Chain A
Amino acid sequence: MEADFIKMETGYVPVEAKITKITQPTEYEKVFTLDFPHKEHLKFLPCQFVMVSIFGFGEAPISICSSPDDEEFQLCVRKVGSLTNKMHSLKVGDFIGIRGPYGNGFPVEVLEGKDLLFTAGGLGLAPLRSLIRYVLQNREKFGDFTLLYGARSPHDRLFADEISEWETSEFVDFHETVDIGEENWMGNVGLITSLFPMIGIDPEKTIGVIVGPPIMYQFVVREMLKKEITDKNIFMSLERRMRCGLGKCGHCQMNGVYVCQEGPVFNYVDVQAIQEAI
């Protein structure tokens, strides 16, 4: 795919984007579909993020959850702070400010010709969805595709409609679990690591990708290593606080690394040299 996405050299000035659709998959998450004044604003790589701004309420880094090959540009936003609470009160037709995209994005070319094992925990499914959709849209470029998803509970599951498609799709081997079950839940109950015994992979050909809450990484890495995937074939996207996205404000730093510049996607080999990473 073309990696010559446009980095907007506008400093802190956001572009105005119009909300064209809002869906609410869970009590705390909404998916916003945005329309930009120019199409080049839509160019990005999977796992890149944007700074979302509403004047008077500040800015926050939000991962893009649509694929670069999608017609629609989407952000999945959890209601957690003043900006995101305000965002949840917005209606179709309202405008928000966007600057970016920022971060390195996923090096999709390293996945080509390989088997894929994606692991998403909780809200980590949002940034990973960008890459999942990209893989499904360009399915012939990749080998076997296994996708694992863990949510806290059945009603915390994101993108349930797509999950239903993945469950029956011949293009992806999808497994999911919830930490805490409910009366009507017929699926797996247990941590995401409990899904690993169910899957068979060829470690020689497989690339592992992990996106989830901070606690999840070392446990999932351990499972992937048990499956004999090598360090250099494991990638992960890491979350940090960000105030500028421009490699200056210092909040996203892990040891000497600015996540907004060198990340959020890291290879596990590099992560092992960064003590504060996982």
Chain B
Amino acid sequence: MKIYFLPKDKVKLLVESVLDEFQVFGAKAKEMKFEFGKIDTAAELRLDYNTTILPPVKTFFPNDEKILEFKPNGQTTSVHENSKKVLFGVHPCDIHAIEMMDNIFSTPPEDKHYLERRKDSIIIGINCNTPCSDKILCYDKGTYKADSGFDLMFWDNGESYLVEVVTSLGNFLASKFSYFFNFFTEYSGDFHEFKSEYHKRQDFVFEKKLTRKISELPEAMRQSYESELWHEVGAKCLSCGSCNIVCPTCYCFDVKDVVDIDLAGGHRCRNWDSCQNLDFACVGSGENFREKSSQRNRHRVFKKEVYLPQNKGYSGCVGCGRCNTACIAGISLIDIYNNVFSEEV
């Protein structure tokens, strides 16, 4: 691990240099919010952003992703994209989400489409000085900080950033811009002490939202399976699917064909899908295995807090709060979790 010292007024120069060599993705202003997308100029990139509308991980799992091309003669080609990408300024919660999705898509049978996009990508994290909003759960979840899942991490140090380089890809980026490194000086202070001071400052401004410890959630949730709560949530829900679309750990998809306008071929693509859609679990005979909104809402939450912990050993919610913000019916995971906690005997 190496630690560098980067004055904030040099960040723009660094971004410009990176842009010369790589595709850069990061947060940029979109009306009153921020979106995570492709950066064309250094001035566009914002490091002082709150939660982006869509999460960074969608860079590797885009909507309308072309997976196959087909010709009328039956010739089929698998489509993969593997340009070198730098994700510049990813919050710790989203880093946790990327780590989770890496695990999901590399579990056999592997998903080469995701893995190819992900393979040569460099993740530059940035720690959060303050909470993004009051909709987030990252302090309860422990995802307001990340120990892995990034190649470089920016730590706010007032007029400068401390840049933690932890992987060979991180070192690769550093050496790639060695001509640039006269702006960097090796940081001589005690980094561990700096980190612990930083996290102490976070302890002052981040607050817990749940009435009980997050480790108690899967069991409490399991016991809520037959709870009236799901009917209440289901009655509010409009089944619009916004919660799934903005979620950094939702990975369900649909597959559909698009035929070229000249009928000379076409492609097969996958689109983000939502388990809240009425026909999500509907089969050809018309049987719908989750016909009720209450069942679909329970499935969304159980997938994250019961099934993934059970099958994979991690929660499928990183507490970013996007679903709580996106829901037009005012459904909030914070309320659901606290209700589950209060119901459990």
Q: Are B111 and A248 in contact (CB under 8 A)?
A: yes
- Residues of B213-256 whose CB lies within 8 A of A: 225, 251-256
Q: Are B266 and A255 in contact (CB under 8 A)?
A: no
Q: Are A249 and B283 in contact (CB under 8 A)?
A: no
Residue from B284, B295, B303 in contact with A253 in the complex, judged by beta carbons closer than 8 Å: B303
- Is A187 close to B, CB under 8 A? no
A60 (CB) vs chain B CBs: closest residue: B284
Q: Are B259 and A243 in contact (CB under 8 A)?
A: no
With A13-B76, A249-B252 as contacts: A58 and B290 at CB distance below 8 Å: no
Q: Within the assembled complex, what's the spacing in Å between the Cα atoms of A243 and B257?
A: 12
B75 CB to nearest chain A CB (Å): 9
With A16-B74, A80-B285, A95-B74 as contacts: A249 and B254 at CB distance below 8 Å: yes
Residue from A11, A97, A247 in contact with B112 in the complex, judged by beta carbons closer than 8 Å: A11
Residue from B253, B268, B281, B303 in contact with A248 in the complex, judged by beta carbons closer than 8 Å: B253
Q: Are A250 and B302 in contact (CB under 8 A)?
A: no
A249 (CB) vs chain B CBs: closest residue: B253
Residue from B78, B251, B266, B283 in contact with A56 in the complex, judged by beta carbons closer than 8 Å: B266
Q: Are A12 and B74 in contact (CB under 8 A)?
A: no
Q: Within the assembled complex, what's the spacing in Å between the Cα atoms of A247 and B78?
A: 19
B102-134: CB near A (< 8 Å → 1, else 0) gives 001101010111000000000000000000000
Q: Are B284 and A81 in contact (CB under 8 A)?
A: yes
A97 (CB) vs chain B CBs: closest residue: B76
- Is B282 close to A, CB under 8 A? yes
With a cutoff of 8 Å between Cβ atoms, the chain B residues found around residue A243 in the complex are: 253-255, 270, 273
- Is A84 close to B, CB under 8 A? yes
- Is B70 close to A, CB under 8 A? yes
With a cutoff of 8 Å between Cβ atoms, the chain B residues found around residue A57 in the complex are: 257
B108 (CB) vs chain A CBs: closest residue: A247
- Is B22 close to A, CB under 8 A? no
- Is B307 close to A, CB under 8 A? yes
- Is A113 close to B, CB under 8 A? no
With A248-B253, A249-B252, A275-B225 as contacts: A55 and B266 at CB distance below 8 Å: yes
Tally of contact residues, A, Cβ under 8 A:
42
B114 (CB) vs chain A CBs: closest residue: A248
Q: Are A241 and B111 in contact (CB under 8 A)?
A: no
A247 (CB) vs chain B CBs: closest residue: B109
Q: Are A11 and B78 in contact (CB under 8 A)?
A: yes
Q: Are B255 and A213 in contact (CB under 8 A)?
A: no
- Is A239 close to B, CB under 8 A? yes
A118-156: CB near B (< 8 Å → 1, else 0) gives 000001000000000000000000000000000000000
Q: Are A56 and B111 in contact (CB under 8 A)?
A: no
With a cutoff of 8 Å between Cβ atoms, the chain A residues found around residue B284 in the complex are: 60, 78, 80-81, 84
- Is B6 close to A, CB under 8 A? no
Q: Within the assembled complex, what's the spacing in Å between the Cα atoms of A240 and B270?
A: 19
- Is B287 close to A, CB under 8 A? yes
A190 CB to nearest chain B CB (Å): 21
A179 CB to nearest chain B CB (Å): 15
Q: Are A248 and B105 in contact (CB under 8 A)?
A: yes
- Is A162 close to B, CB under 8 A? no
Provide the main secondary structure of the chain B interface.
Answer: mixed
Q: Are A248 and B283 in contact (CB under 8 A)?
A: no
Q: Within the assembled complex, what's the spacing in Å between the Cα atoms of A55 and B265?
A: 9
Residue from B104, B225, B287 in contact with A214 in the complex, judged by beta carbons closer than 8 Å: B287
- Is B17 close to A, CB under 8 A? no
B278-299: CB near A (< 8 Å → 1, else 0) gives 0011111101011000010001
Most buried by A among B76, B307, B308: B76
Q: Within the assembled complex, what's the spacing in Å between the Cα atoms of A55 and B251?
A: 24
Q: Are A247 and B290 in contact (CB under 8 A)?
A: no
- Is A244 close to B, CB under 8 A? yes
Q: Are A11 and B113 in contact (CB under 8 A)?
A: yes
- Residues of A63-97 whose CB lies within 8 A of B: 78, 80-81, 84, 95, 97
- Is A200 close to B, CB under 8 A? no
Q: Within the assembled complex, what's the spacing in Å between the Cα atoms of A56 and B282?
A: 21
- Is A254 close to B, CB under 8 A? yes
Q: Are A256 and B253 in contact (CB under 8 A)?
A: no
Most buried by A among B255, B256, B311: B255
Q: Within the assembled complex, what's the spacing in Å between the Cα atoms of A52 and B231?
A: 38
Q: Are A55 and B268 in contact (CB under 8 A)?
A: yes
A239 CB to nearest chain B CB (Å): 6
Q: Are A12 and B302 in contact (CB under 8 A)?
A: no
Q: Are A249 and B78 in contact (CB under 8 A)?
A: no
Q: Are A247 and B107 in contact (CB under 8 A)?
A: yes
Question: Nearest 10 CB-CB pairs, A to B?
Answer: A250-B252, A256-B307, A55-B70, A80-B284, A56-B259, A246-B109, A243-B255, A214-B287, A241-B283, A13-B78
Sample (23) of A-B pairs whose CB atoms are under 8 Å apart: A9-B109, A11-B67, A12-B68, A13-B78, A16-B74, A56-B257, A56-B266, A57-B257, A58-B255, A59-B255, A213-B287, A241-B280, A243-B273, A244-B253, A248-B111, A249-B254, A249-B270, A250-B280, A251-B254, A253-B303, A253-B307, A256-B306, A275-B225
Q: Which residues from chain A sit less than 8 Å from chain B, CB to CB?
A: 7, 9-14, 16, 53, 55-60, 78, 80-81, 84, 95, 97, 123, 213-215, 239-241, 243-244, 246-251, 253-256, 275-276
